[in-house]
A and B are shown apart, each in its own frame.
Chain A
């Protein structure tokens, strides 16, 4: 059971180990349990549109696999499982890191957000890559600019793919909107709308994180 005509499986090196992403080879296999449910209560579990926010591209399974093979393996990209830990612990997409959507909505000046942004390749402080940024940096250091607002340098921000439970889940859309509100470049954010729901429908490999 191939993934596409050209792709039988994708091998990833994650956490020092090789994980093979492939489809379940049993043609009779069907999903069961939570992801077999078709009609969750709405609200809050409503169907989401294809587009999550202007400038943010929505991707599918093939694009996610390509991202894992390239951007994640070479360190320029991160796949984020934006679900709360109780969902993440049930199983996640190989190569994903867990950053619950709730972390993105913390106070921008909090240690949580600062550390989170560092993981994403973003540092605090002005970028100084334009005359406006240089003027801002000077004003900031001279105490003339407001110290209340955190400034971020997105020059080396990584490309991100965020996902959650599926097209009925709002966790990754919330995380994405929070990132955009923090100033994260929209063109560096990708939304895997299918999430765990579609990942399982295609019988793709799910890994259960160590407790």
Chain B
């Protein structure tokens, strides 16, 4: 809406009383920070997936779509879980290796609830 110039001061006061409809983005905007954090998590997941896929070209039984949608066997111990990642999902294992002991425990707990490799990658990426 175009506001005649002579009415603008009054219009400005009225608009301010309604609240600014624009959401200014300031430095350190929490929304922007969370957006970029989410973008970073997805990028890490994608990198791990690409590395996993290239390594899985040589592993019998895990190829193509299976590499993306694989589900780890249930009931593995923490050590067995780490070994499975190292053997079958080397890219994901590289990220897993960067985590602290406490973070790895959290990822293991996540695996116990959901063994999909996609979700395990996300759990790892969110800790990085």
Contact of B38 among A32, A40, A145, A149 (CB under 8 A): A40
| A34-B21 CB under 8 A given contacts A136-B4, A145-B5, A183-B1 | no
Q: Closest residue of chain A to B45, judged by CB?
A: A33
Q: Tell whether A86 pairs with B40 under 8 Å between CB atoms, given A105-B23, A145-B5.
A: yes
Checking A41, A140, A170, A181 against B21 with a beta-carbon cut-off of 8 angstroms, the contacting residue is: A181
Interface size on B, residues (CB 8 A): 31
Tally inter-chain residue pairs, CB-CB below 8 A. Answer: 73
Chain A nearest CB from B30 CB (Å) reads 7
B5 touches A140 (CB 8 A): yes
Given contacts A139-B5, A146-B8, contact A36 B22 (CB under 8 A): no
- What A residues does B86 contact at CB under 8 A? none
Chain B contacts for A33, CB-based, 8 A:
42, 45-46, 49, 118
Minimal beta-carbon separation of A143 from chain B (angstroms)? 12
Q: CB within 8 Å of B: which residues of A? A: 28, 30, 32-34, 36-37, 40-41, 44-45, 84, 86-87, 90, 101-102, 105, 127, 132-133, 135-136, 139-140, 145-146, 149, 170-171, 174, 177-178, 180-181, 183
- Contact sample, A vs B, 12 pairs, CB 8 Å cutoff: A28-B65, A32-B118, A33-B45, A36-B118, A84-B39, A86-B39, A86-B40, A90-B42, A105-B24, A146-B5, A146-B8, A171-B35
